[in-house]
Amino acid sequence: MKQFATITVIGRDKTGVIARVTNFLFEQHANIEALEEQVTRGQFSMTLQASWKPSQCSLESIRRGMETLGVSLGMEVRVRFTEPRRRQRCAIFVTRETHCLDALMAEFKSGRIKNAQPVVIVSNRGDLAPLAKKYGLPFFCIPWDDRTKAEAEVLGRLDIFQVDFVVLARFMKILSPNFVWRFKNKIINMHPSLLPSFPGPQAYRQAYEHGVKIVGVTAHFVSMALDEGPIIAQGSFNVRANMTLKDIVTAGQKVEAKVLVKAVKLYLTKKLDVFWGVVKEV
């Protein structure tokens, strides 16, 4: 069976980065399975997936060589080797609301999501620690007063748990581009409106105040722009004439849970592709 690795390269943009990384991998007898790169405001990011025949793969030589290359380039280079056909490892980010977390865990526990497993819950508050204990998952409460410090700590935790993708289950903090670059199209968020309408934290209130007749929710990949990432799945419900804001929020939360679960399942089919900012099923 092949040995697989995911390699991320992040830093200030400069000439020849892709060539130097791919040339090194060629010398190490690697087959490049996929490569994505992006430059935003002078910041370069690349995610590369490579594979080797077992007889041609020296994990230590590859890891040491990539670290040396990172120093030479003045960039952050990370290599993570993965077992073939292993289940994807998921981190769930929460704040205080439980409905999305409960819906996800019900799917994982029942086996309706077979090709992934939750491995850690991260929060900016301690409210849901008892719920994480109930589900038998490690829980880390990391204050978000200093976002740079908090994100650095979270990224370290995700490395330890070998996390493949992240689900924001009503996590009420904004992730910086520095964080998002490291998990491009691997962070799934749920927003309580039919994007692009009503971005931001008060979507239900905005919908209520505008008197909209259909309220929806959107699951999307997180991008550098707030609530503008590629859309994975959406759901909606009709607003009755006598519904209060509280009624709308309650109805919306039920749809949120369903849409977020649907988005995770779609992601795990590995049949989604992001082309010029639009998610397409392939």
- Tally of CA atoms within 13 A in the half-sphere of 172 that contains its CB: 10
Contacts made by residues 108-116, CB under 8 angstroms, sequence distance 24+: 109/135, 113/264, 113/265, 113/268, 114/87, 115/87, 115/88, 115/268, 116/87, 116/88, 116/89, 116/90, 116/164, 116/165, 116/264, 116/268
Cβ(16)–Cβ(73) below 8 Å = no
Q: Which amino acid is at 82?
A: T
Select which of 13, 145, 227, 247 is catalytic.
227
Bridge partner list, 31:
51
DSSP class of residue 204 equals: H
**Rounded CA Rg of the chain:** 20
Q: Is-catalytic flag, 227? A: yes
Evaluated on CA atoms 178, 5, 48, 266, the torsion sign reads negative
DSSP class of residue 183 equals: G
Evaluated on CA atoms 219, 224, 227, 228, the torsion sign reads negative
Number of H helices, E strands in the chain: 8, 13
Q: Tell me the catalytic residues.
A: 227
